[in-house]
Amino acid sequence: MIKNKSNEEYRALGIMGGTFDPIHYGHLVTAEEARCQFDLDAVIFVPSGKPPHKKNYRVSDAKHRYLMTVLAVVTNPFFDVSRTEIDREGYSYTIDTVREFREKYPNTEIFFITGADAILEILTWKKVEEVMDHCRFIAATRPGYNLNDLDKKFKTIMPEYSSRIQTIEVPALAISSTDIRRRVANNMSIKYLVPEAVEQYILKNNLYKS
Ligand code: NAP
C-alpha cells in the first residue's frame, strides 16, 4: 500500500473506486476536482478486480485495466494506483478495500470517490453500514443531473448516512467508458477522450474490438 513520500500518514485521502474499462478524462477530472474541493493529500485509484455487480457483462482483463490506470495517472504527483482489488481473490467488495485502508491509515479521513449512479445502488453493497462508518463518499455526477434531487434520493435510501455523501458535478463526465468501448468497436476516434498513452494501449492490445 502507498504511503506519502515522507512515510507519514495522510491527513485526508481519496480512494477512487471504479472498473475503469477504460479509464478516461472524466475519471481524471473527477479525481482532481475531488482532491481540490476536499483538500485531499492524495487520490489512490483502485481498479476493481472482479466487480460483484457485473456478472452479466464481460469486463476486460484486470491486468489491462490496471495498466491503463497507471498510464493515465502517471503525470499527476497527487495520484497513485493500488493493486489491492486486482490481487485479491474472489469478488471485489468495497468493504474489504476500505477496511484495508482504514487499518493502514487509522487516523486519516478517507473519502471514497465514485460515480453517483454506483452510489445510488449502495444498499445492495456488502456490509454497507460498515463501509459508511469507515469513510465519507464523494458522488460524481454527469451534467444534467439535478443535485438537489440526488441529495433527496440519498436521504431517502439511507437517511442516517446521507450527511456522509457529498455530490460534485463534473462536466467532463459526459465522457463514459461505455461510449469509448462503442467507439472503438465501430472504428471511431477516441482521441481527446482518454490520455494518449491509454489510446495507444487500447489500439496496441486490440481491446474493445468485439
Ligand atoms: P458502474 O456501475 O460501472 O458505474 C456507474 C456509473 O458511475 C457509470 O456512469 C460510471 O461511468 C460512473 N463511474 C464509475 N466509477 C466512477 C468514478 N470513479 N468516477 C466517476 N464516475 C464513475 O460502477 P463501477 O465502476 O463498477 O463501480 C464503482 C465503484 O463502486 C467501484 O469501486 C466498485 O468496486 C464499487 N462497488 C462496490 C460494490 C460492493 O462492494 N458490493 C458493488 C458495486 C460497486 P464509467 O462507466 O464511465 O466509469
pTM of the predicted model as reported, rounded to 2 decimal places: 0.95
Q: Is the CB of 119 under 6 A from ligand 1?
A: no
Residue 6 C-alpha to ligand 1 middle, in angstroms? 31
* Contact of 97 with 48, CB cutoff 8 Å: no
Q: Residue 59 — very low, low, confident or very high, per pLDDT cuts 50/70/90?
A: very high
Under the banding of pLDDT at 50, 70 and 90, the label for residue 57 is confident
pLDDT higher at 44 or 145: 44
Whether cis (ω within 30° of 0) applies to the bond prior to 22 is yes
Atom of ligand 1 nearest to the CA of 180: 47
Higher pLDDT, 2 or 79: 79
Please tell me the residue having the least CA distance from ligand 1 atom 43. Answer: 53
CA distances to 16, 64, 93, 141, 197 from 73, in Å: 12, 14, 23, 21, 10
List own/partner pairs for 186-194 with CB under 8 A and 24 or more apart: 192/25, 193/24, 193/25, 194/22, 194/23, 194/24, 194/25, 194/72
pLDDT at 55: 72
Confidence of residue 4 (pLDDT cuts 50, 70, 90): low
Question: In the prediction, which pLDDT does 3 show?
Answer: 52
Q: What is the C-alpha to C-alpha distance for residues 89 and 25, in angstroms, rounded to an integer?
A: 29
**DSSP structure class, residue 194:** B
pLDDT digits (tens, 9 = 90+) for 18-31: 999 999 999 999 99
Rounded Cα–Cα distance for residues 31 and 22 (Å): 15
Contacts of 30 (CB under 8 A, 6+ apart): 16, 113, 140, 168, 170, 172, 173
